[in-house]
């Protein structure tokens, strides 16, 4: 019970720091420090855990390797965005498009917020997916295959609840005549191919995502004949120390749980309370993602506790894991701490609660899809 209390306190520290507008990476690291103190994880115990990983696990599953690979991925994704910006690949503003045809601002904000997050369960460039793949020791294609149910449910439910109603019919004068379909398709392909290239390498050939992104960046710059003297400025977009701290803090939090033995204590507590496994699998990720508003740290924090429910001997239930990720997705969709949600409310100049109420029905459909996958695979 003490271990569970220590975890709750450290998460409360994280939530309070985020509410005080402390940058998320620093807040996550301070939370990990608080957990280490509460659980009595000394530097010696931490080092012993790292040495144990080195001797017992493959290199790709050790914490230092995970930290380096995910950090490289996260920073290089920023470089992709910078490269596309300098090349001139851009998308129309959703707010202006919505205003032009008379869509209510809260609906426009909900559309922008909800749909851009429905690819997270399956997108290999999203750090949470490679982290789960490493933790489960399974091919990326298997994990993405199960997670696809969440993305499909989200897109279909979003279309029904957000796009089918409340969108005024377009008038003739609102239809832009400049630009052919072919030119728009060409621009879309140029923007999308680096991401698809990386995804195919990772899912199909198990090439580390960071390597795929780096190759895609080089290909993008060469294809558009960007002067090599500009490359240095583009790669400077990788300078994001707070993102490095975010991953460092999240993995440190995970190491504290493992080194202290807190995982076994908390799982034992759940079993003593006779909590249904399906409830634990959904509720724990939901509470952490709702409280913190971040995905990859939620995976690092909660999945160690969920492994006894996901893995039975040599058998792994990806249906159960999909339910856990559905809990994360649902928590993020309705969390007022989620930075994207707060920024959407600010940018679209609409109350945050209105966005949450519009997003709630399709988000519940994603949660239902996760439960259905878990029940069907049981």
**Could you tell me the pTM of the whole model?**
0.81
Can you tell me the distance from the alpha carbon of 207 to that of 141, in angstroms, rounded to the nearest whole number?
12
Query: In terms of C-beta density within 10 A (0-12 exposed, 13-18 middle, 19 or more buried), how is residue 348 classed?
Result: buried
Q: In the predicted model, is pLDDT for residue 29 greater than 90?
A: yes
Please answer whether residues 109 and 162 qualify as being in contact, where contact means their C-beta atoms are separated by less than 8 angstroms. Answer: no
Token duo for residue 353: 């609660």
| 294 three-state secondary structure | coil
- Give CA separation, 247 vs 3, 19, 211, 242, in Å: 23, 20, 18, 9
Report CA 122 to chain centroid distance, whole Å.
10
pLDDT band at 91 (very low <50, low <70, confident <90, very high): very low
- Residue 117 confidence (pLDDT): 87
Please answer whether residues 365 and 155 qualify as being in contact, where contact means their C-beta atoms are separated by less than 8 angstroms. Answer: no
- Residue 169 confidence (pLDDT): 65
| Residues 115-171: tens digit of each pLDDT | 888 888 988 778 899 999 999 989 989 999 999 999 999 999 999 999 887 666 655
| Residues 351-376: tens digit of each pLDDT | 888 999 999 999 999 999 999 999 99
Can you tell me the distance from the alpha carbon of 131 to that of 23, in angstroms, rounded to the nearest whole number?
22
In this prediction, residues 42-64 reach a mean pLDDT of: 90
Token pair 């080092």: residue: 47
Residue 312, beta-bridge partner list: 315
Can you tell me the distance from the alpha carbon of 80 to that of 210, in angstroms, rounded to the nearest whole number?
11
- Residue 270 confidence (pLDDT): 81
Highest mean pLDDT among 84-88, 97-101, 200-204: 200-204
pLDDT band at 97 (very low <50, low <70, confident <90, very high): low
Q: In the predicted model, is pLDDT for residue 177 greater than 50?
A: no
- Residue 238 confidence (pLDDT): 75
Q: In the predicted model, is pLDDT for residue 241 greater than 70?
A: yes
- Residue 76 confidence (pLDDT): 86
Q: In the predicted model, is pLDDT for residue 45 greater than 90?
A: yes
Q: How many Cβ atoms sit within 10 Å of the Cβ of residue 268?
A: 13
């Amino acid at each position: 019970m003490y271990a569970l209390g220590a975890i709750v306190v450290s998460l409360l520290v994280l939530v309070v720091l985020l509410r005080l507008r402390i940058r998320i990476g620093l807040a996550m690291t301070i939370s990990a420090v608080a957990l280490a103190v509460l659980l009595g994880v000394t530097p010696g115990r931490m080092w012993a855990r790292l040495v144990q990983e080195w001797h017992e696990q493959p290199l790709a599953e050790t914490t230092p390797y995970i930290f380096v690979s995910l950090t490289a991925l996260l920073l290089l994704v920023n470089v992709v965005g910078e490269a596309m910006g300098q090349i001139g690949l851009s998308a129309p503003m959703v707010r202006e498009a919505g205003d032009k045809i008379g869509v209510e601002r809260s609906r426009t904000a909900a559309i922008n917020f909800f749909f851009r997050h429905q690819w997270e369960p399956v997108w290999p460039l999203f750090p949470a997916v490679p982290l789960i793949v490493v933790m489960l020791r399974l091919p990326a294609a298997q994990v993405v295959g199960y997670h696809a149910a969440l993305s499909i449910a989200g897109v279909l439910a979003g279309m029904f609840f957000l796009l089918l109603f409340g969108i005024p019919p377009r008038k003739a004068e609102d239809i832009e005549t400049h630009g052919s379909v072919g030119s728009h398709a060409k621009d879309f392909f140029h923007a999308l191919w680096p991401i698809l290239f990386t995804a195919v390498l990772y899912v199909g050939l198990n090439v580390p995502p960071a390597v795929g992104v780096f190759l895609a960046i080089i290909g993008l710059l060469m294809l558009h004949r960007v002067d090599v003297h500009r490359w240095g400025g583009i790669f400077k977009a990788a300078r994001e120390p707070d993102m490095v701290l975010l991953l460092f803090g999240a993995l440190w939090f995970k190491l504290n749980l493992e080194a202290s033995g807190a995982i076994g204590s908390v799982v034992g507590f759940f079993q003593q309370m006779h909590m249904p496994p399906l409830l634990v699998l959904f509720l724990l990720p939901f509470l952490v993602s709702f409280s913190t508003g971040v995905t990859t740290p939620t995976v690092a924090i909660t999945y160690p506790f969920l492994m006894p429910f996901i893995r039975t001997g040599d058998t792994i239930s990806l249906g159960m894991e999909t339910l856990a990720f559905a809990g994360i997705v649902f928590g993020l969709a309705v969390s007022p701490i989620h930075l994207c949600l707060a920024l959407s409310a600010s940018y679209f100049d609409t109350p945050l609660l209105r966005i949450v109420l519009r997003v709630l029905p399709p988000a519940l459909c994603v949660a239902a899809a996760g439960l259905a996958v878990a029940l069907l695979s049981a």
